[in-house]
A and B are shown apart, each in its own frame.
Chain A
Amino acid sequence: MKHLSLNSLNVKTGVLLWFVVHAVLIALGVSVPWKMNSDLYSILPDSNETKNVSAAEKTLSARTMRNISVLVGHENFEVARAAAVALDSLLKENNSLEETRLFVDENSLNETREFFYKNRYSIQGVPVREAVAAGDLETLKNDALQKIYGSFSMSDLNRLDEDPLLLGEASFDYFANHSPLSSGSFELRDGVLAATDSGITYVMWNAVLSEKVSAMASNGHVLECLNGVLDSLKQANAGLVYAKSGAMFHSYESSNKAKSEIAWISGVSISLILLLLLFVYRSPLPIVATVSTIALSAFTALSFTWFVFENIHVFTFVFGTTVIGVSIDYAVHFFTSLKSGVHNVRSVIFKGLLLGFLTTELSYMALTFTEFPLLRQMAVFSMVGLLSSFLSITLLFHAVFDKRNQPEKKAGAANLPMSIPERFLKLYSALPPKGARLLLIVFALALIPGLGMLHVHTDLESLYSMSAESKTAESLSARLNNLGVSSNYFIVEGSSEQEVLEREALLSARLGKAEQDSLLQSHLALSNFIPSAKTQQATSANIKRLILDSANVLRPSVQSYLKEIGVQNDSLLVAGFSPAKTVPASLSDKLPSTLRLILQMLWIGPVETSAGTQFYSAVLPLHVSAQFDAQKIAGDMPHVYAVNKIKNVNASLTKISRMSLALVGIAYLVVFLVLVAVYKLSVALKIIRTPVLSSLFVAAFFGYAGIDFNFFAIVGVILTLGIGIDYALFFWEGGRNNLVTVLAVMLSAMTTLISFGSLVCSAFVPVSTFGFAVLLGIACCFLLSPLSVKH
């Protein structure tokens, strides 16, 4: 290691190398268009169950996410309605909204009825389909007579001659009865939908956000505009209340909160770090140089990651800034040594720095093998950022700051606050080697019960808590809509539109049986309203067979029925069976608005997959019981996938967490072998035990505290393993009594503790969990690393 190539590079070559590497990495990034992804759904990993339909699921989720709803309420309906009308008129022209819905279209009812009448021989619900398949004319006759003579019947009898069995009405009834939306409390009032709850009448307003609208808060965001309008309306109308519902509101509010939180957390931590560095170095130069290095690292990392992944998720950038924590350590080591009077700093710190760099890179590299795109992006970002920092310190800083030709001063210059590391070292000096070993053994043993109690599990729901206002709004919306959508649903796949509808029908039949077993109340499937062409053709053929004989003449039983209800001219009925009038309806037909909405909700459509273009739709079980098992229902049905987004993501994150730990474990084994090669077995063990014990300490702490050791805590541990080994390495390289090394490690640890420790204050559980894990791990590394030193 004494003749490491970078260390022996001359200044000019070094600077050239530094420049070329950065230029290439940045140029690659600049050569591609820069796209920032802020779609929250896209960062979630795919589970085994949904991997095959991942793209379809994401399309559906993204679409659902774009739907928002606001209930505008007041004791007086007129006030609530007027406010809702004002809201609609102020927002309906907004470019970020694809559409707004407040008023009920007065033609929709007739339009829907007309559609089902037109397709009466093709589109029928299950009871009529079964009756005609069984040749049961009697049931159809009795149902029609009930509609003709019965009280409170709403059937349209004006086309009795064309449709004496009222099959158009039967089809329309089936649609109305099986549309799951009958369960809501809303009713038509003065052209809008209104529902009353606890003395307040709420008017419903809906909107669909355009695809370009980000889930992250930003200036001029349409939800900011919506909030402004609602607040103004509230001020103008005393007693006005509103309830906002939709995932986009939560994303917006969370990110808005995160923005201000990040601003004050980073502001405080950066200020503290700068003050600390200023206190130690008493000069702005190291600070300016360090900040410049970090900025360059981040930019280089960003460019290259963009080049590799084509777009970067905003979370990658946020978590990737952890690279700052590591980069700052390298700079701190350089300037502490420089300030202490060392003239060729690089030659002194190079070995420790290189080993620290390689071990950290290995940890990050391991993460690139995970199946989680976000983690891979973070790993690449951090690897490149770290490389940039390493090169800047060892090549550029060496060229600019190292006074290579001047005589060396005595180490431990008085212009550094050495009394602090001196006091720190005294604590460890009191410990005899045997005592230190005993302490480590006791420490390790104490971790074992905690590790036994460890629960590796990620539960997204426990990581996010809605504000009280949002919770009340969602609860009100759910109560008034009473739709009964659960977190379980199905995605059906097929190579064509028709294949999807056919497979859906099989699933629907199975769900129908589950409804009889009270496992759910109902379900929503597109094929219930527009069956496959095959089913429609079969229905049409069965109805024709029931009414006409092989010579296309009315059967006697039908003739007798027509006489009973006074139909004189049977030619209209016969004419209805002409081929032109029995063409199966398809999803691409001009559908009535009621069906179009169901189509928009359930039909995912063609999606490009590795197997080519596939078609997808969603089937929603409604009001499911605790015993409902979507997996079991979909179990042996090919191309039917049970989806439970939260459950699947939780399982995936837990699996990815375990896999990440295993990969980092393997990386550590490689690190260990490198250390054994560089040093010897006993030294390698001494160095590596610090980060390993610290990581186990974090895990044991979570175990003792009964906190789930979730994905975010595990990422924190991985970072601990990456950073923590540097302290042990620097201590080993610097020697126990080297106060400059102690000061440098102290400074490194302090800056890391400040930046990650401040994250503990975050209201966002994932961020605070991550910060807490790093805080514990780094603190432990710092305290244990002096035990890994040369005597």
Chain B
Amino acid sequence: MICIRQKFCEWLLLPVLIGLGVSFSSAAVFDNPVNEKSKQELSQVLTQVTSYDEVSGDFKQIKTIKKLNREFVSSGAFRISKKSGIVWSMQKPFVSEMTVNDSGIFERSANGTVKTISTKDNPVFAQFSKVIQAVFFGNLSELESRFSLFYEKTPNGSRIGLVPREATIRKVVANIVMDMSANLDKVVITDGEGSPVTYEFTNHKRK
């Protein structure tokens, strides 16, 4: 019985990894594992990028399926609030919304149906919620516990690379690259087969 839980936990942790995202597909960052010195810089960058009570803006998501040579593009608005959590409002190609906060994960689909996973009933999703929020609110220790960290400076700011510590998860999510200047600008999540999902964030408004 316990092993089923093991497998299930593995599955549940996958969205956590994706949720961490801000990215790039540049592999160069992975030549620079975080050391004591760069860790301090990374911490400062994260603190600076996430020093808000609430930030909102637009996002564009591009899912590239290499095998099919096809891309699926969606776009919409996001709002990240330290008080009320993270809201992803997709506008195109259809309207849907996902909210992640301490109470749970709520997904409203195009036909209006709402799926809810309460963190109270599901501690694993509570962790998922916690980790996503940790990323956007700059919780380095939480990231460090789940990923091998890589960091480099870029002409426009900084780039962070995350590689899941768990081999099981690496089979599904190979790595995550986050590009940031004053804000989180881009996240690329590359799956086990090398297909990337790119998130581009624009029009940041801080409160």
A146 surroundings in chain B (CB, below 8 A): 96, 107, 109-110
Q: From A8-16, A152-160, A279-287, A328-336, give the one contacting chain B.
A: A152-160
Of A204, A481, A482, A597, chain B has the most CB atoms within 10 Å of the CB of: A597
Q: Would you call B109 and A143 a contact (CB within 8 A)?
A: yes
A189 surroundings in chain B (CB, below 8 A): 145, 165-166
With beta carbons under 8 angstroms apart, the residue of B18, B168, B169, B195 that contacts A152 is B18
B122 surroundings in chain A (CB, below 8 A): 182-183
Closest Cβ of chain B: how far from A243's Cβ, in Å? 13
A110 on interface, CB distance cutoff 8 Å:
yes
B13 on interface, CB distance cutoff 8 Å:
yes
Interface residues on B, range: 35 or more
Q: Would you call B166 and A593 a contact (CB within 8 A)?
A: no
B199 surroundings in chain A (CB, below 8 A): 151
Q: Would you call A104 and B5 a contact (CB within 8 A)?
A: no
Q: From B29-37, B44-52, B63-71, B175-183, give the one contacting chain A.
A: B63-71
Render B171-189 as a binary contact track against A, CB cut-off 8 A, 1 for contact: 1100000000000000000
With beta carbons under 8 angstroms apart, the residue of A150, A182, A190, A206 that contacts B166 is A190
A186 surroundings in chain B (CB, below 8 A): 5-6, 9
Q: Would you call B94 and A149 a contact (CB within 8 A)?
A: yes
Q: A150-B98, A183-B123 are in contact. Are A188 and B10 (CB under 8 A)?
A: yes
A644 on interface, CB distance cutoff 8 Å:
no
Q: Would you call A109 and B171 a contact (CB within 8 A)?
A: yes
Docked Cα-Cα span, A176 to B90, in Å, equals 25
B19 on interface, CB distance cutoff 8 Å:
yes
Closest Cβ of chain B: how far from A437's Cβ, in Å? 66
Q: Would you call A594 and B4 a contact (CB within 8 A)?
A: yes
Closest Cβ of chain A: how far from B71's Cβ, in Å? 9
With beta carbons under 8 angstroms apart, the residue of B3, B12, B72, B127 that contacts A149 is B72
Closest Cβ of chain B: how far from A447's Cβ, in Å? 52
Closest Cβ of chain A: how far from B91's Cβ, in Å? 11
Docked Cα-Cα span, A176 to B13, in Å, equals 12
Residue of A nearest to B172 (CB): A109
Q: Would you call A187 and B3 a contact (CB within 8 A)?
A: no
B190 surroundings in chain A (CB, below 8 A): none
Render A151-184 as a binary contact track against B, CB cut-off 8 A, 1 for contact: 1111001101100000000000000100101111
Q: Would you call B171 and A184 a contact (CB within 8 A)?
A: no
Q: Would you call A106 and B171 a contact (CB within 8 A)?
A: yes
For the residues of A in contact with B, the DSSP-based class is: mixed
Render B1-34 as a binary contact track against A, CB cut-off 8 A, 1 for contact: 1111111111111110011000000000000000
Closest Cβ of chain A: how far from B56's Cβ, in Å? 15
Docked Cα-Cα span, A112 to B94, in Å, equals 31
B137 on interface, CB distance cutoff 8 Å:
no
Q: Would you call A204 and B2 a contact (CB within 8 A)?
A: yes
Render B106-133 as a binary contact track against A, CB cut-off 8 A, 1 for contact: 0101110000000001111101000000
Q: Would you call A158 and B65 a contact (CB within 8 A)?
A: yes
Q: Would you call B5 and A158 a contact (CB within 8 A)?
A: no
Docked Cα-Cα span, A206 to B13, in Å, equals 21
Docked Cα-Cα span, A154 to B70, in Å, equals 17
A142 surroundings in chain B (CB, below 8 A): 109-111
Residue of A nearest to B67 (CB): A158
Of A104, A138, A152, A183, chain B has the most CB atoms within 10 Å of the CB of: A152
Closest Cβ of chain B: how far from A170's Cβ, in Å? 13
A191 surroundings in chain B (CB, below 8 A): 166-167
Of A109, A204, A565, chain B has the most CB atoms within 10 Å of the CB of: A109
Q: Would you call A160 and B68 a contact (CB within 8 A)?
A: yes
Docked Cα-Cα span, A236 to B183, in Å, equals 48
Closest Cβ of chain A: how far from B133's Cβ, in Å? 13
Q: Would you call B8 and A597 a contact (CB within 8 A)?
A: no
With beta carbons under 8 angstroms apart, the residue of B72, B90, B124, B195 that contacts A182 is B124
Q: Would you call B3 and A481 a contact (CB within 8 A)?
A: no
A153 surroundings in chain B (CB, below 8 A): 18
With beta carbons under 8 angstroms apart, the residue of B2, B4, B67, B109 that contacts A69 is B2
Q: Would you call B127 and A145 a contact (CB within 8 A)?
A: no
Q: Would you call A481 and B18 a contact (CB within 8 A)?
A: no
Q: Would you call B9 and A152 a contact (CB within 8 A)?
A: no
Docked Cα-Cα span, A357 to B3, in Å, equals 59
Q: Would you call B14 and A154 a contact (CB within 8 A)?
A: yes
Q: Would you call B121 and A158 a contact (CB within 8 A)?
A: no
Q: Would you call B74 and A185 a contact (CB within 8 A)?
A: no
B61 on interface, CB distance cutoff 8 Å:
yes
Q: A148-B72, A598-B4 are in contact. Are A104 and B165 (CB under 8 A)?
A: no
With beta carbons under 8 angstroms apart, the residue of A145, A151, A152, A181 that contacts B4 is A181
B93 surroundings in chain A (CB, below 8 A): 145, 149
Q: A181-B1, A190-B165 are in contact. Are A109 and B96 (CB under 8 A)?
A: no
With beta carbons under 8 angstroms apart, the residue of A67, A139, A184, A593 that contacts B5 is A184
Residue of A nearest to B193 (CB): A158
Residue of A nearest to B173 (CB): A154
Residues of A within 8 A of B (CB): 67, 69, 101, 104-110, 112, 138-139, 142-143, 145-146, 148-154, 157-158, 160-161, 176, 179, 181-191, 193, 204, 206, 481-483, 521, 565-566, 593-594, 597-598, 601
Which 5 A-B pairs rank lowest in CB-CB distance, beginning with the nearest? A181-B5, A106-B168, A149-B74, A106-B167, A594-B7
Would you mind naming 5 contact pairs between A and B with Cβ atoms under 8 Å apart?
Answer: A101-B6, A104-B6, A148-B63, A176-B11, A185-B124
Residues of B within 8 A of A (CB): 1-15, 18-19, 59, 61, 63, 65, 67-68, 70, 72, 74, 88, 90, 93-94, 96, 98, 107, 109-111, 121-125, 127, 145, 165-169, 171-172, 193, 195, 199
Given contacts A101-B2, A106-B168, A158-B65, 19 further A-B contacts (CB under 8 A): A108-B6, A112-B7, A143-B109, A150-B74, A150-B90, A150-B107, A151-B59, A151-B88, A154-B15, A157-B63, A176-B12, A181-B2, A183-B122, A187-B13, A187-B127, A188-B6, A206-B2, A598-B4, A601-B4
